[in-house]
């Protein structure tokens, strides 16, 4: 297995497990949205600074693999995005804001391997927020608030910006108003007006995908239609997932399925993640699709609890765990914050995300398949060849446009 494929699956496994954990803690949140690529990039910088042979290195390596391979995988994503006819604009930027306690060797490694931009640790978060806003094309205007803790040693930041044009665009004249039924606390659920994009024709879809707990799935490709036909799965796509039934239980079952790697046909191969497995089961068929036009935002939120649930413990609590980053033995991972935004319309998808890891001292049917995304659903933006998810989201009550 290539390093890019292995790292793509590591990012997918990490991202899907974290996504499921976040959804479980807030089952009725309007939006849950993360970028595994952004989170993985930020944690890879932390891994680069971890003590060789230490517990934090072991925990981070179990989640990510080698940090150099994460950098290589992201280079592969950027190369695919630059390909002719990809229809995609992708930017991944890393930044390191370092205090005087940070070792020059770490900064050299971060800039050389992870192409990070390095700067002195600022007295306010304004330079960091401005950098994130610039690298996400203004989609994430503010990641950090308040003032830096005096005990902060460094900020490890990753920002991702994605814009993709549908290979087959929706016709605006077919967009029509309809009702979307979100999940909400209490027995009564009120509908929300939304503009639904409509399309009839051939698409990759399935009414039931076992790897997704029996949910229906639809793949929409980005890029030039002819280039997509010739790419043989080397480009980018969006996967829309509609739970088998309406209601919280069916949505939760679909999300829970994302934690489980399906058994491979070839037992010598590493198990594919559920999203890659779902893509492989779709077939070209006639569909009648309606998808709401929406914008989903997930404001800067802590990933610390979710990461702890995934076994990242020593990185937050241990001593002497980041001696490659600093000679100070008390340096540890203090907080991991993440923000993301995605917009879906007739032309395509725009998305952005940013993650900061703060280091501090202790403190097919007889008729077209009908897919009506008029109730909570999942959305993933994927690199098809490696299965790497750039974004994964649960859309319950977004901003409809």
Domains and CATH numbers, the chain: 1-164+296-342 (3.30.497.10), 168-179+193-293+372-400 (2.30.39.10)
Residue 157's CB: how many other CB atoms inside 10 A? 29
pLDDT band at 325 (very low <50, low <70, confident <90, very high): very high
| Spatial separation of the C-alpha atoms in residues 311 and 1, rounded to whole Å | 26
pLDDT band at 146 (very low <50, low <70, confident <90, very high): confident
Report the pLDDT value the prediction gives residue 278, as an integer from 0 to 100: 93
**Residue 134 gets which letter from DSSP?**
H
pLDDT digits (tens, 9 = 90+) for 328-366: 989 889 889 999 999 999 999 999 999 999 887 654 455
**Residue 258 gets which letter from DSSP?**
T
- Assess whether pLDDT exceeds 60 at residue 60: yes
Spatial CB neighbours of 347, under 8 Å, sequence gap ≥ 6 = 165, 166, 169
| Spatial separation of the C-alpha atoms in residues 314 and 320, rounded to whole Å | 10
| Spatial separation of the C-alpha atoms in residues 242 and 376, rounded to whole Å | 7
Stretch 183-206: mean pLDDT: 87
Stretch 42-50: mean pLDDT: 94
- Assess whether pLDDT exceeds 60 at residue 234: no
Tokens of 297: 């935002």
pLDDT band at 227 (very low <50, low <70, confident <90, very high): low
Closest of 244, 277, 273, 279 to residue 261, by C-alpha: 273
Spatial CB neighbours of 195, under 8 Å, sequence gap ≥ 6 = 175, 176, 177, 178, 292, 293, 400, 401
Spatial CB neighbours of 261, under 8 Å, sequence gap ≥ 6 = 13, 271, 272, 273, 274
Strand 88-98 relative to strand 117-120, pairing: parallel
Q: In what order do the strands lie in the sheet with 117-120?
A: 117-120, 88-98, 152-165, 348-360, 332-344, 294-302, 399-400
| Spatial separation of the C-alpha atoms in residues 93 and 329, rounded to whole Å | 28
| Spatial separation of the C-alpha atoms in residues 164 and 154, rounded to whole Å | 33
| Spatial separation of the C-alpha atoms in residues 123 and 106, rounded to whole Å | 21
| Spatial separation of the C-alpha atoms in residues 148 and 301, rounded to whole Å | 17
| Spatial separation of the C-alpha atoms in residues 296 and 377, rounded to whole Å | 12
Helix (H, G, I), strand (E, B) or coil at 91: strand
| Spatial separation of the C-alpha atoms in residues 297 and 139, rounded to whole Å | 9
Report the pLDDT value the prediction gives residue 261, as an integer from 0 to 100: 54
Report the pLDDT value the prediction gives residue 188, as an integer from 0 to 100: 58
Report the pLDDT value the prediction gives residue 259, as an integer from 0 to 100: 84
Stretch 216-230: mean pLDDT: 80
Report the pLDDT value the prediction gives residue 152, as an integer from 0 to 100: 87
Contact 321, 312 (CB under 8 A): no
Alpha-carbon distances of 51 from 77, 99, 219, rounded to whole Å:
29, 19, 42
Report the pLDDT value the prediction gives residue 102, as an integer from 0 to 100: 92
Backbone angles phi, psi at 125, to 5 degrees: -85, -5
Stretch 379-387: mean pLDDT: 91
CA atoms within 13 A on the CB side of 216: 18
Residues 230/233/237/239 CA torsion (nearest 10 deg): 130
Backbone angles phi, psi at 374, to 5 degrees: -110, 20
| Spatial separation of the C-alpha atoms in residues 392 and 372, rounded to whole Å | 20
pLDDT digits (tens, 9 = 90+) for 99-138: 988 999 999 999 999 999 999 999 899 999 999 999 998 8
The helix or strand, by DSSP H or E, that contains position 126, with its residue range, turns out to be: helix 126-135
The shares of helix, strand and coil residues in the chain, as percent rounded to the nearest 5, are 30, 35, 35
**Lowest-confidence region among 213-217, 267-271, 370-374:** 267-271
Average pLDDT, the chain: 88
| Spatial separation of the C-alpha atoms in residues 325 and 118, rounded to whole Å | 13
């Amino acid at each position: 297995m290539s390093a890019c494929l292995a790292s793509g699956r590591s990012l997918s496994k990490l991202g899907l497990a974290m996504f499921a954990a976040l959804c479980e803690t807030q089952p009725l949140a309007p939006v849950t949205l993360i970028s595994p690529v952004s989170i993985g990039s930020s944690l890879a910088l932390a891994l680069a600074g971890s003590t060789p042979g230490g517990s934090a290195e072991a925990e981070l390596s179990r989640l990510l693999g080698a940090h150099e391979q994460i950098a290589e995988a992201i280079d592969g994503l950027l190369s695919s995005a630059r390909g002719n006819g990809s229809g995609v604009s992708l930017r991944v930027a890393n930044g390191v804001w370092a205090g005087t306690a940070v070792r020059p060797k770490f900064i050299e490694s971060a800039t050389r391997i992870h192409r990070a931009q390095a700067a002195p640790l600022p007295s306010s978060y304004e330079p960091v927020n401005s950098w994130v806003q610039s690298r996400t094309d203004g989609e994430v205007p503010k990641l950090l608030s308040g003032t830096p803790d005096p005990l902060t040693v460094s900020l490890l930041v990753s920002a991702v910006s994605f814009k993709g044009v549908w290979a087959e665009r929706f016709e605006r004249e077919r967009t029509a108003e309809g009702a979307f039924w979100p999940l909400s606390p209490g027995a009564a659920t009120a509908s929300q007006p939304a503009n639904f994009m409509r399309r009839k024709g051939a698409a990759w879809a399935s009414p039931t995908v076992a790897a997704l707990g029996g949910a229906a799935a639809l793949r929409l490709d980005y890029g030039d239609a002819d280039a997509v036909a010739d790419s043989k799965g080397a480009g980018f796509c969006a996967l829309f997932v509609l739970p088998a039934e309406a209601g919280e239980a069916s949505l939760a079952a679909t999300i829970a399925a994302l934690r489980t790697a399906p058994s491979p046909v070839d037992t010598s191969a590493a198990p594919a993640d559920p999203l890659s497995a779902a893509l492989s089961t779709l077939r070209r068929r006639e569909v009648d699709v309606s998808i709401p036009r929406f914008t989903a935002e997930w404001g800067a939120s802590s990933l610390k609890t979710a990461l702890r649930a995934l076994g990242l413990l020593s990185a937050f609590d241990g001593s002497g765990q980041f001696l490659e980053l600093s000679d100070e033995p008390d340096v540890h991972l203090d907080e991991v914050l993440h923000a993301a935004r995605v917009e879906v319309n007739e032309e395509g998808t725009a998305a952005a995300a940013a993650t900061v890891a703060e280091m501090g001292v202790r403190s097919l049917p007889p008729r077209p398949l009908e897919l009506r995304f008029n109730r909570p659903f999942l959305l993933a933006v994927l690199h098809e060849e490696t299965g790497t998810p750039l974004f994964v989201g649960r859309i319950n009550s977004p901003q409809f446009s």
